[in-house]
Amino acid sequence: MTVIVVSGTGTEIGKTVVTAAVAAVATAAGRSVAVLKPAQTGVGPDERGDADEVVRLSGAAASAELGRFPEPLAPGTAARRAGLAPVGPREVAEAARKLAADHDLVLVEGAGGLLVRFDEEGGTLADVAALLGAPVLVVVPAGLGTLNSTTLTAEALRARGIEQLGVVVGSWPAEPDLAARCNLADLPESAGAPLLGAVPEGSGALDPAEFRAAAGDWLAPALGGAWDAEAFAGAQAPPVSVG
């Protein structure tokens, strides 16, 4: 795979940290990795954006950001309110292809969920993936409600003929509740795709060297790591309630 599109089922669920983990593992394996953030919202001109954070944590070779809008809104809305030109899917796909010409792996990190609007024409991250013919890695929350949002995202991908690479839990709790533990077994069925990792909560606060050393333990072999989904789910499974 030359390009992987990283989406989420919502906001603030760990997309950036998961993207950084994938980048860290690939970089450690000797691959040149570039990170593309099509539209960064809710960040000022002098603040560090998501792509910058991925490079800091992972040691990725390069990053690019196509648009930055100050308000924490959907990219299309944030661009309109700021009086700035939006970033459309074709522009994103072109930028990804240029990066792919010089790097072994390009990670395109979306904003929010798969169908958040980029522009007034209704362009989305799904359109970017379709234009690129790239698989989508879906980042999901651990707890109650994640099965529904994961199923909806999977259905949207299938309806568009886009490959879903798998799902990764973006922030696995230190003390998971019953729903989170049960969801590990149910997420692959809801997604129609394998569970490819679980990143511990708070991982983004690690020192970059610690982050890079640990990243392979959070991701399955399909993403270059050593994490075992079956063993992890089995260890976390709650006892069966009877009576």
What HEC string does the chain produce? CCEEEEEECCCCCCHHHHHHHHHHHHHHCCCCEEEEECCEECCCCCCCCHHHHHHHHHCCCEEEECCEECCCCCHHHHHHHHCCCCCCHHHHHHHHHHHHHHCCEEEEEEEEECCCCCCCCCCCHHHHHHHHCCCEEEEECCCCCHHHHHHHHHHHHHHCCCCEEEEEEEEECCCCCHHHHHHHHHHHHHHCCCEEEEEECCHHHCCHHHHHHHHHHCECHHHCCCCCHHHHHHHHCCCCCCC
- Please indicate whether residue 37 is annotated as part of the active site: yes
Question: Residues 37, 68, 117, 212: which is the catalytic one?
Answer: 37
Supply the residues annotated as catalytic: 37
